[in-house]
Amino acid sequence: MFAFYYRIIKKTVIILYIILFLLTANSVFAGGMNKDFEANVKKIINKAMQDSTAWEQLAYLCDTFGPRPSGSESLNKALMWMKGEMQKDGLENVKAEEAYVPHWVRGREFCELVKPRKEQLHMIGLGGSIATPPEGITAPLLIVNSFEELKARAKEAKGKIVLFNKPWMGYGDAVQFRFNGAVYAAEAGAVASLIRSCSPIGMQNPHTGVMGYNDTIPKIPNAAISLEDAEMLERMEKRGQNPVVHLYMEAKTLPDVKSYNVMGEIKGSERPGEIIVVGGHTDCWDPGLGAQDDGGGAISAWKAVKLLKDLGIKPKCTIRAVMFVNEENGTKGGKAYAVDHKNDNTKLMFEFDSGVFEPQSIGFSGSDAQMETVKGFEPYLKILDDSISVVKGGWGVDISPLAKQNNIPVMSLGTNDEGKYFWYHHSATDTPDKVNPAVMNKCIAAIAISLYLYSETK
Protein backbone atom coordinates (compact mmCIF):
# COMPACT_ATOMS: atom_id res chain seq x y z
CA MET A 1 0.00 0.00 0.00
CA PHE A 2 2.83 2.36 0.82
CA ALA A 3 4.40 1.69 -2.58
CA PHE A 4 1.07 2.53 -4.26
CA TYR A 5 0.76 5.90 -2.47
CA TYR A 6 4.44 6.61 -3.08
CA ARG A 7 3.92 6.21 -6.84
CA ILE A 8 0.89 8.52 -6.72
CA ILE A 9 2.81 11.16 -4.76
CA LYS A 10 5.81 10.84 -7.07
CA LYS A 11 3.67 11.31 -10.20
CA THR A 12 1.93 14.30 -8.62
CA VAL A 13 5.26 15.92 -7.77
CA ILE A 14 6.50 15.36 -11.32
CA ILE A 15 3.33 16.88 -12.83
CA LEU A 16 3.55 19.87 -10.51
CA TYR A 17 7.22 20.30 -11.42
CA ILE A 18 6.39 20.28 -15.13
CA ILE A 19 3.61 22.83 -14.63
CA LEU A 20 5.92 25.02 -12.55
CA PHE A 21 8.63 24.73 -15.22
CA LEU A 22 6.24 25.74 -17.99
CA LEU A 23 4.94 28.68 -15.97
CA THR A 24 8.36 29.96 -14.99
CA ALA A 25 9.81 29.38 -18.46
CA ASN A 26 7.87 32.29 -19.88
CA SER A 27 7.12 34.21 -16.69
CA VAL A 28 9.61 36.85 -17.84
CA PHE A 29 6.97 37.93 -20.38
CA ALA A 30 4.18 38.18 -17.83
CA GLY A 31 3.59 41.22 -15.67
CA GLY A 32 6.27 43.92 -15.69
CA MET A 33 9.21 44.12 -18.07
CA ASN A 34 12.41 42.22 -17.44
CA LYS A 35 15.21 44.76 -16.90
CA ASP A 36 17.81 42.78 -18.85
CA PHE A 37 15.48 42.39 -21.82
CA GLU A 38 14.56 46.06 -21.65
CA ALA A 39 18.22 47.08 -21.67
CA ASN A 40 18.98 44.89 -24.69
CA VAL A 41 15.91 46.12 -26.56
CA LYS A 42 17.05 49.71 -26.06
CA LYS A 43 20.50 48.77 -27.35
CA ILE A 44 18.91 47.21 -30.43
CA ILE A 45 16.87 50.31 -31.14
CA ASN A 46 19.73 52.75 -30.62
CA LYS A 47 22.11 50.78 -32.82
CA ALA A 48 19.56 50.20 -35.57
CA MET A 49 18.55 53.85 -35.83
CA GLN A 50 22.16 55.03 -36.16
CA ASP A 51 23.11 52.75 -39.07
CA SER A 52 22.40 53.53 -42.74
CA THR A 53 24.12 50.41 -44.08
CA ALA A 54 20.92 48.48 -44.78
CA TRP A 55 19.42 51.10 -47.09
CA GLU A 56 22.77 51.66 -48.81
CA GLN A 57 23.04 47.94 -49.53
CA LEU A 58 19.45 47.85 -50.78
CA ALA A 59 20.22 50.70 -53.17
CA TYR A 60 23.42 48.95 -54.29
CA LEU A 61 21.52 45.70 -54.90
CA CYS A 62 18.87 47.41 -57.00
CA ASP A 63 21.13 49.80 -58.91
CA THR A 64 23.93 47.35 -59.63
CA PHE A 65 22.04 44.20 -60.61
CA GLY A 66 18.80 45.72 -61.89
CA PRO A 67 15.59 43.70 -62.13
CA ARG A 68 15.90 40.18 -60.67
CA PRO A 69 13.28 37.91 -62.25
CA SER A 70 13.53 34.21 -61.42
CA GLY A 71 15.89 32.35 -63.69
CA SER A 72 17.77 35.47 -64.76
CA GLU A 73 21.53 35.97 -64.74
CA SER A 74 21.04 39.25 -62.88
CA LEU A 75 19.31 37.45 -60.00
CA ASN A 76 22.07 34.86 -59.63
CA LYS A 77 24.74 37.56 -59.70
CA ALA A 78 22.84 39.41 -56.97
CA LEU A 79 22.62 36.23 -54.89
CA MET A 80 26.37 35.66 -55.08
CA TRP A 81 26.89 39.26 -54.00
CA MET A 82 24.58 38.69 -51.02
CA LYS A 83 26.53 35.59 -50.07
CA GLY A 84 29.78 37.56 -50.11
CA GLU A 85 28.27 40.40 -48.06
CA MET A 86 26.95 37.96 -45.45
CA GLN A 87 30.46 36.58 -45.10
CA LYS A 88 31.84 40.11 -44.69
CA ASP A 89 29.20 40.70 -41.99
CA GLY A 90 30.69 37.82 -40.02
CA LEU A 91 27.65 35.54 -40.16
CA GLU A 92 28.34 31.84 -39.68
CA ASN A 93 27.63 28.92 -42.02
CA VAL A 94 27.07 31.24 -44.97
CA LYS A 95 26.06 29.22 -48.03
CA ALA A 96 24.00 29.13 -51.20
CA GLU A 97 21.74 26.09 -51.48
CA GLU A 98 20.53 25.08 -54.95
CA ALA A 99 16.94 25.47 -56.07
CA TYR A 100 15.67 25.05 -59.63
CA VAL A 101 13.36 27.89 -60.57
CA PRO A 102 11.06 28.87 -63.47
CA HIS A 103 12.56 30.93 -66.27
CA TRP A 104 9.97 33.08 -68.05
CA VAL A 105 11.30 35.67 -70.50
CA ARG A 106 9.24 38.70 -71.51
CA GLY A 107 10.74 39.65 -74.86
CA ARG A 108 9.38 42.59 -76.88
CA GLU A 109 5.76 43.54 -76.36
CA PHE A 110 3.29 46.32 -77.06
CA CYS A 111 -0.40 47.04 -77.30
CA GLU A 112 -1.96 49.77 -79.39
CA LEU A 113 -5.39 51.13 -80.01
CA VAL A 114 -6.31 50.73 -83.70
CA LYS A 115 -9.88 52.00 -83.74
CA PRO A 116 -11.50 54.55 -83.31
CA ARG A 117 -8.04 56.16 -83.42
CA LYS A 118 -4.41 55.08 -83.14
CA GLU A 119 -2.59 55.35 -79.81
CA GLN A 120 0.04 53.34 -77.95
CA LEU A 121 -1.47 51.85 -74.79
CA HIS A 122 0.43 51.42 -71.51
CA MET A 123 0.76 47.65 -71.29
CA ILE A 124 2.88 44.95 -69.64
CA GLY A 125 2.72 41.19 -70.14
CA LEU A 126 1.77 39.02 -67.18
CA GLY A 127 4.33 36.53 -65.87
CA GLY A 128 3.88 33.11 -67.46
CA SER A 129 1.90 34.32 -70.46
CA ILE A 130 2.41 32.76 -73.87
CA ALA A 131 3.31 34.87 -76.90
CA THR A 132 0.98 36.12 -79.57
CA PRO A 133 1.41 34.78 -83.11
CA PRO A 134 4.35 36.50 -84.90
CA GLU A 135 1.97 38.94 -86.57
CA GLY A 136 0.28 39.77 -83.27
CA ILE A 137 -3.44 39.78 -82.60
CA THR A 138 -5.82 42.47 -83.84
CA ALA A 139 -9.34 42.18 -82.49
CA PRO A 140 -12.25 44.15 -81.03
CA LEU A 141 -12.66 44.33 -77.27
CA LEU A 142 -15.26 42.91 -74.97
CA ILE A 143 -15.03 44.83 -71.68
CA VAL A 144 -16.46 43.29 -68.52
CA ASN A 145 -16.25 44.06 -64.80
CA SER A 146 -16.58 40.53 -63.41
CA PHE A 147 -16.43 36.85 -64.25
CA GLU A 148 -20.20 36.74 -63.85
CA GLU A 149 -20.65 39.43 -66.50
CA LEU A 150 -18.32 37.54 -68.85
CA LYS A 151 -20.35 34.39 -68.35
CA ALA A 152 -23.58 36.25 -69.10
CA ARG A 153 -22.04 37.77 -72.27
CA ALA A 154 -20.04 34.71 -73.33
CA LYS A 155 -21.60 34.66 -76.81
CA GLU A 156 -20.05 38.09 -77.47
CA ALA A 157 -16.52 36.99 -76.52
CA LYS A 158 -15.71 34.70 -79.43
CA GLY A 159 -12.84 36.08 -81.51
CA LYS A 160 -12.44 39.12 -79.27
CA ILE A 161 -9.94 40.32 -76.68
CA VAL A 162 -11.59 40.36 -73.26
CA LEU A 163 -10.65 43.26 -70.98
CA PHE A 164 -11.43 42.85 -67.28
CA ASN A 165 -11.89 46.40 -65.98
CA LYS A 166 -12.72 45.72 -62.34
CA PRO A 167 -12.39 48.79 -60.07
CA TRP A 168 -9.92 48.36 -57.20
CA MET A 169 -11.42 46.69 -54.14
CA GLY A 170 -8.17 45.42 -52.63
CA TYR A 171 -5.40 43.19 -53.86
CA GLY A 172 -7.15 39.94 -53.01
CA ASP A 173 -10.07 40.90 -55.22
CA ALA A 174 -7.97 42.28 -58.08
CA VAL A 175 -5.45 39.43 -58.28
CA GLN A 176 -8.11 36.84 -59.18
CA PHE A 177 -8.52 38.56 -62.56
CA ARG A 178 -4.77 38.63 -63.10
CA PHE A 179 -4.33 34.96 -62.28
CA ASN A 180 -7.54 33.48 -63.74
CA GLY A 181 -8.56 36.00 -66.39
CA ALA A 182 -6.97 34.21 -69.34
CA VAL A 183 -8.68 30.93 -68.40
CA TYR A 184 -12.16 32.48 -68.18
CA ALA A 185 -11.63 34.52 -71.35
CA ALA A 186 -10.36 31.52 -73.36
CA GLU A 187 -13.23 29.37 -72.11
CA ALA A 188 -15.62 31.94 -73.59
CA GLY A 189 -13.78 31.86 -76.94
CA ALA A 190 -11.60 34.97 -76.62
CA VAL A 191 -8.28 35.20 -78.48
CA ALA A 192 -6.47 37.17 -75.76
CA SER A 193 -7.04 38.63 -72.30
CA LEU A 194 -6.25 42.01 -70.77
CA ILE A 195 -6.72 43.17 -67.19
CA ARG A 196 -6.81 46.53 -65.49
CA SER A 197 -3.62 46.62 -63.42
CA CYS A 198 -3.77 45.43 -59.81
CA SER A 199 -3.27 48.84 -58.22
CA PRO A 200 -5.45 51.51 -56.59
CA ILE A 201 -3.91 54.26 -58.71
CA GLY A 202 -2.94 54.65 -62.35
CA MET A 203 -0.44 57.30 -63.44
CA GLN A 204 -0.18 55.26 -66.68
CA ASN A 205 1.91 52.74 -64.74
CA PRO A 206 0.98 49.12 -65.59
CA HIS A 207 1.66 46.40 -63.00
CA THR A 208 2.65 42.82 -63.81
CA GLY A 209 2.51 39.62 -61.74
CA VAL A 210 2.09 35.89 -62.12
CA MET A 211 -0.86 34.42 -64.02
CA GLY A 212 -2.15 30.90 -64.48
CA TYR A 213 -3.43 28.55 -67.18
CA ASN A 214 -5.62 25.47 -67.17
CA ASP A 215 -4.21 22.70 -69.35
CA THR A 216 -7.73 21.63 -70.38
CA ILE A 217 -8.51 25.08 -71.84
CA PRO A 218 -6.68 26.76 -74.77
CA LYS A 219 -3.91 29.13 -73.67
CA ILE A 220 -4.19 32.73 -74.81
CA PRO A 221 -1.86 35.73 -74.34
CA ASN A 222 -2.47 37.73 -71.17
CA ALA A 223 -1.36 41.26 -70.25
CA ALA A 224 -2.16 44.21 -68.01
CA ILE A 225 -2.88 47.78 -69.03
CA SER A 226 -3.00 50.98 -67.01
CA LEU A 227 -6.06 52.14 -65.11
CA GLU A 228 -6.39 55.21 -67.36
CA ASP A 229 -6.28 53.16 -70.57
CA ALA A 230 -8.79 50.62 -69.22
CA GLU A 231 -11.21 53.41 -68.26
CA MET A 232 -10.80 55.12 -71.64
CA LEU A 233 -11.52 51.90 -73.53
CA GLU A 234 -14.65 51.24 -71.48
CA ARG A 235 -15.91 54.77 -72.13
CA MET A 236 -15.41 54.16 -75.85
CA GLU A 237 -17.29 50.88 -75.70
CA LYS A 238 -20.23 52.47 -73.88
CA ARG A 239 -20.45 55.16 -76.59
CA GLY A 240 -20.70 52.46 -79.23
CA GLN A 241 -17.27 53.26 -80.69
CA ASN A 242 -16.32 49.56 -80.58
CA PRO A 243 -12.58 49.85 -79.81
CA VAL A 244 -10.16 47.55 -81.60
CA VAL A 245 -6.63 46.87 -80.33
CA HIS A 246 -3.49 45.20 -81.63
CA LEU A 247 -1.53 43.09 -79.13
CA TYR A 248 2.02 41.83 -79.72
CA MET A 249 4.00 39.68 -77.25
CA GLU A 250 7.15 37.55 -77.59
CA ALA A 251 6.93 35.96 -74.13
CA LYS A 252 8.22 32.44 -73.63
CA THR A 253 8.87 29.97 -70.83
CA LEU A 254 12.29 28.29 -70.90
CA PRO A 255 13.38 25.20 -68.91
CA ASP A 256 13.91 25.67 -65.17
CA VAL A 257 17.38 26.90 -64.22
CA LYS A 258 19.58 26.57 -61.17
CA SER A 259 19.38 29.36 -58.62
CA TYR A 260 19.93 29.61 -54.87
CA ASN A 261 18.62 30.22 -51.39
CA VAL A 262 21.37 32.23 -49.68
CA MET A 263 21.70 32.05 -45.90
CA GLY A 264 23.86 32.83 -42.90
CA GLU A 265 23.35 32.57 -39.14
CA ILE A 266 24.48 33.29 -35.62
CA LYS A 267 24.81 30.27 -33.39
CA GLY A 268 22.68 29.90 -30.30
CA SER A 269 24.46 30.24 -26.96
CA GLU A 270 22.46 27.57 -25.10
CA ARG A 271 20.38 25.64 -27.65
CA PRO A 272 22.25 25.88 -30.97
CA GLY A 273 20.29 22.95 -32.38
CA GLU A 274 17.07 24.96 -32.23
CA ILE A 275 16.65 27.18 -35.29
CA ILE A 276 14.77 30.43 -35.83
CA VAL A 277 14.47 31.22 -39.54
CA VAL A 278 13.98 34.81 -40.71
CA GLY A 279 13.90 36.02 -44.29
CA GLY A 280 12.33 37.54 -47.35
CA HIS A 281 12.58 36.92 -51.09
CA THR A 282 15.25 38.09 -53.49
CA ASP A 283 13.51 37.78 -56.87
CA CYS A 284 11.31 40.49 -58.33
CA TRP A 285 9.39 41.24 -61.50
CA ASP A 286 11.36 42.83 -64.27
CA PRO A 287 9.79 46.27 -64.83
CA GLY A 288 11.09 47.58 -61.48
CA LEU A 289 14.04 47.01 -59.15
CA GLY A 290 12.23 45.15 -56.38
CA ALA A 291 13.07 47.58 -53.58
CA GLN A 292 9.76 47.23 -51.74
CA ASP A 293 8.94 43.77 -53.09
CA ASP A 294 10.99 42.34 -51.55
CA GLY A 295 14.61 43.50 -51.56
CA GLY A 296 13.95 45.79 -48.61
CA GLY A 297 12.25 43.01 -46.66
CA ALA A 298 14.98 40.45 -47.35
CA ILE A 299 17.81 42.82 -46.43
CA SER A 300 15.94 43.96 -43.29
CA ALA A 301 15.69 40.34 -42.12
CA TRP A 302 19.38 39.75 -42.80
CA LYS A 303 20.46 42.98 -41.09
CA ALA A 304 18.33 42.19 -38.02
CA VAL A 305 20.48 39.09 -37.51
CA LYS A 306 23.67 41.07 -38.09
CA LEU A 307 22.46 43.69 -35.61
CA LEU A 308 22.22 41.12 -32.81
CA LYS A 309 25.69 39.85 -33.70
CA ASP A 310 27.24 43.33 -33.72
CA LEU A 311 25.73 44.12 -30.32
CA GLY A 312 27.07 40.92 -28.81
CA ILE A 313 23.55 39.89 -27.84
CA LYS A 314 23.72 36.12 -27.82
CA PRO A 315 20.36 34.51 -28.55
CA LYS A 316 19.81 31.19 -26.83
CA CYS A 317 19.01 29.41 -30.08
CA THR A 318 20.45 29.76 -33.57
CA ILE A 319 18.99 32.49 -35.78
CA ARG A 320 19.31 31.93 -39.53
CA ALA A 321 18.71 34.62 -42.15
CA VAL A 322 17.45 33.08 -45.41
CA MET A 323 17.24 34.99 -48.68
CA PHE A 324 14.59 32.90 -50.43
CA VAL A 325 14.48 32.68 -54.21
CA ASN A 326 11.45 32.50 -56.54
CA GLU A 327 8.59 33.72 -54.40
CA GLU A 328 6.95 35.50 -57.31
CA ASN A 329 6.14 32.67 -59.68
CA GLY A 330 6.57 29.27 -58.10
CA THR A 331 7.82 29.33 -54.49
CA LYS A 332 10.54 26.93 -55.59
CA GLY A 333 12.97 28.44 -53.07
CA GLY A 334 10.62 27.87 -50.15
CA LYS A 335 9.85 24.36 -51.35
CA ALA A 336 13.54 23.50 -51.78
CA TYR A 337 14.27 24.83 -48.30
CA ALA A 338 11.48 22.63 -46.89
CA VAL A 339 13.11 19.57 -48.46
CA ASP A 340 16.66 20.47 -47.48
CA HIS A 341 15.76 21.34 -43.88
CA LYS A 342 12.88 18.99 -43.08
CA ASN A 343 14.88 17.41 -40.25
CA ASP A 344 15.98 20.69 -38.65
CA ASN A 345 14.63 21.48 -35.20
CA THR A 346 13.01 24.71 -36.41
CA LYS A 347 11.41 26.65 -33.57
CA LEU A 348 9.99 29.62 -35.51
CA MET A 349 9.82 30.96 -39.07
CA PHE A 350 9.61 34.72 -39.63
CA GLU A 351 9.01 36.45 -42.97
CA PHE A 352 9.00 40.12 -43.95
CA ASP A 353 7.22 40.77 -47.25
CA SER A 354 4.68 43.49 -46.51
CA GLY A 355 6.58 46.55 -47.76
CA VAL A 356 9.10 48.68 -45.88
CA PHE A 357 6.81 51.14 -44.13
CA GLU A 358 6.23 52.11 -40.48
CA PRO A 359 6.14 48.95 -38.32
CA GLN A 360 2.57 48.35 -37.20
CA SER A 361 2.26 44.80 -35.91
CA ILE A 362 3.94 41.51 -35.25
CA GLY A 363 1.65 38.78 -36.53
CA PHE A 364 1.91 35.34 -34.97
CA SER A 365 0.40 31.97 -35.80
CA GLY A 366 0.90 29.21 -33.25
CA SER A 367 -0.76 27.67 -30.21
CA ASP A 368 -2.79 29.76 -27.76
CA ALA A 369 -0.07 29.34 -25.15
CA GLN A 370 2.59 30.50 -27.59
CA MET A 371 0.42 33.44 -28.63
CA GLU A 372 0.08 34.47 -24.99
CA THR A 373 3.87 34.42 -24.65
CA VAL A 374 4.43 36.45 -27.82
CA LYS A 375 1.79 38.94 -26.68
CA GLY A 376 4.21 39.61 -23.82
CA PHE A 377 6.66 41.08 -26.37
CA GLU A 378 4.37 44.07 -26.87
CA PRO A 379 5.74 46.35 -24.11
CA TYR A 380 9.26 45.92 -25.50
CA LEU A 381 8.15 46.65 -29.07
CA LYS A 382 6.37 49.77 -27.86
CA ILE A 383 9.71 51.18 -26.75
CA LEU A 384 10.41 51.39 -30.50
CA ASP A 385 6.96 52.71 -31.42
CA ASP A 386 3.90 52.89 -29.20
CA SER A 387 1.63 51.97 -32.11
CA ILE A 388 3.12 48.48 -32.58
CA SER A 389 0.96 45.60 -31.37
CA VAL A 390 1.14 41.81 -31.40
CA VAL A 391 -1.74 40.23 -33.32
CA LYS A 392 -2.88 36.81 -34.44
CA GLY A 393 -2.04 35.88 -38.00
CA GLY A 394 1.60 35.50 -38.95
CA TRP A 395 2.14 34.56 -42.59
CA GLY A 396 4.72 34.14 -45.32
CA VAL A 397 4.74 32.57 -48.79
CA ASP A 398 8.36 31.41 -48.63
CA ILE A 399 8.20 29.97 -45.13
CA SER A 400 4.84 28.25 -45.55
CA PRO A 401 6.08 24.98 -47.16
CA LEU A 402 8.22 23.98 -44.17
CA ALA A 403 5.97 25.64 -41.58
CA LYS A 404 2.93 23.68 -42.77
CA GLN A 405 4.89 20.47 -43.24
CA ASN A 406 6.39 20.49 -39.73
CA ASN A 407 3.70 22.50 -37.91
CA ILE A 408 6.09 25.32 -37.05
CA PRO A 409 4.91 28.63 -35.54
CA VAL A 410 5.01 31.57 -37.95
CA MET A 411 5.70 35.25 -37.35
CA SER A 412 5.70 38.27 -39.68
CA LEU A 413 6.09 42.02 -39.57
CA GLY A 414 3.06 44.04 -40.64
CA THR A 415 3.56 47.63 -41.74
CA ASN A 416 1.35 50.67 -42.20
CA ASP A 417 1.73 51.56 -45.87
CA GLU A 418 -1.10 54.17 -45.82
CA GLY A 419 -2.36 52.49 -48.98
CA LYS A 420 0.87 53.08 -50.91
CA TYR A 421 2.38 49.62 -51.27
CA PHE A 422 0.29 48.73 -54.31
CA TRP A 423 1.21 52.02 -55.96
CA TYR A 424 4.63 50.46 -56.61
CA HIS A 425 4.06 46.70 -56.40
CA HIS A 426 5.21 44.78 -59.53
CA SER A 427 5.78 47.96 -61.50
CA ALA A 428 8.54 50.18 -62.84
CA THR A 429 8.20 52.48 -59.83
CA ASP A 430 9.42 49.89 -57.28
CA THR A 431 12.79 51.58 -56.77
CA PRO A 432 14.98 52.39 -53.71
CA ASP A 433 13.78 55.99 -53.46
CA LYS A 434 10.41 54.59 -52.34
CA VAL A 435 12.06 53.21 -49.18
CA ASN A 436 12.72 55.60 -46.30
CA PRO A 437 16.10 54.70 -44.69
CA ALA A 438 14.97 55.63 -41.15
CA VAL A 439 11.77 53.61 -41.52
CA MET A 440 13.78 50.66 -42.82
CA ASN A 441 15.91 50.87 -39.68
CA LYS A 442 12.75 50.77 -37.53
CA CYS A 443 11.65 47.62 -39.35
CA ILE A 444 15.06 46.04 -38.71
CA ALA A 445 14.78 46.92 -35.02
CA ALA A 446 11.26 45.45 -34.76
CA ILE A 447 12.44 42.20 -36.35
CA ALA A 448 15.57 42.00 -34.19
CA ILE A 449 13.57 42.60 -30.98
CA SER A 450 11.07 39.88 -31.90
CA LEU A 451 13.79 37.36 -32.81
CA TYR A 452 15.76 38.05 -29.64
CA LEU A 453 12.76 37.77 -27.33
CA TYR A 454 11.48 34.60 -29.02
CA SER A 455 14.89 33.04 -28.60
CA GLU A 456 14.54 33.61 -24.86
CA THR A 457 11.37 31.47 -24.68
CA LYS A 458 11.53 27.77 -23.87
| Alpha-helical segments (H) within 100-259 | 147-152, 154-157, 171-187, 227-238
Q: How far is CA 252 from the centre of its chain?
A: 24
Residues in a beta bridge with 123: 225
Region for residue 203 given its phi and psi (left: phi exceeds 0; alpha: psi -120 to 50; beta: otherwise): left
Is 327 labeled as catalytic in the residue annotation? yes
Region for residue 159 given its phi and psi (left: phi exceeds 0; alpha: psi -120 to 50; beta: otherwise): left
Q: Which of 234, 327, 328, 351 is catalytic?
A: 327
289 contact partners, CB below 8 Å, separation of at least 6: 62, 63, 66, 67, 295, 430, 431, 432
189 contacts 162 by C-beta, under 8 angstroms: no
Can you tell me the distance from the alpha carbon of 276 to that of 264, in angstroms, rounded to the nearest whole number?
12
HEC profile of 11-53: HHHHHHHHHHHHHHHCHHHCCCCCHHHHHHHHHHHHHHHCCCH
If DSSP codes are grouped into helix, strand and coil, which group holds residue 73? Answer: helix
If DSSP codes are grouped into helix, strand and coil, which group holds residue 1? Answer: coil
Side chain identity at 444, as an amino acid letter? Answer: I
- Residues belonging to the active site: 327
